[in-house]
Amino acid sequence: MYEKVLVVDATNQVLGRMCSMIAKKLLEGYRVHVVNVEKARISGSKHSFTREYVKFLDIKSVRNPKHTPIHYRNPATYVRSVIKGMLPMDKKKGADAFRRLRVYVGNPGNLGGQLIRFEEADATRLGRRSFTLSELKDIFKVPEAG
């Protein structure tokens, strides 16, 4: 069976805009591989994002640790969770779409197909400050690519 495959390069792409376009492509039936997620950009203040995420990391359950929320420390799993929040996971089509998603730190190189970039999500259009996920070394543990 022929599958539609997209390989998305996240380098210098605004995270939210890129993820919303990927979610739409997944719902259309594409199999999407996202590479170089540690180079995706988040618009806004780095200090503000760090403060909010550290506040989220402090949420724990004292009574029963298994009820503690999952705290993502890898940029790839963080981007997966952002895309998951944009899919209708309570329906079968959303769960099927999420299974077709693969996210990588770095570029494994054996994916086939051309790297595409979304023009609407390009970070050069930002007129304000932004930062990459790899700059958040105190929050995210960025594994070695390759």
- Average pLDDT of the chain to the nearest whole number: 89
Among candidates 73, 138, 139, 74, which has minimal Cα distance to 106?
74
Name all domains of the chain by residue range, CATH numbers in brackets: 5-135 (3.90.1180.10)
pTM of the model: 0.87
Binned at pLDDT 50, 70 and 90, residue 102 comes out as very high
**Looking at residues 105-132, what average pLDDT do you find?**
87
pLDDT greater than 90 at residue 66: no
Helix (H) or strand (E) holding 81: helix 75-84
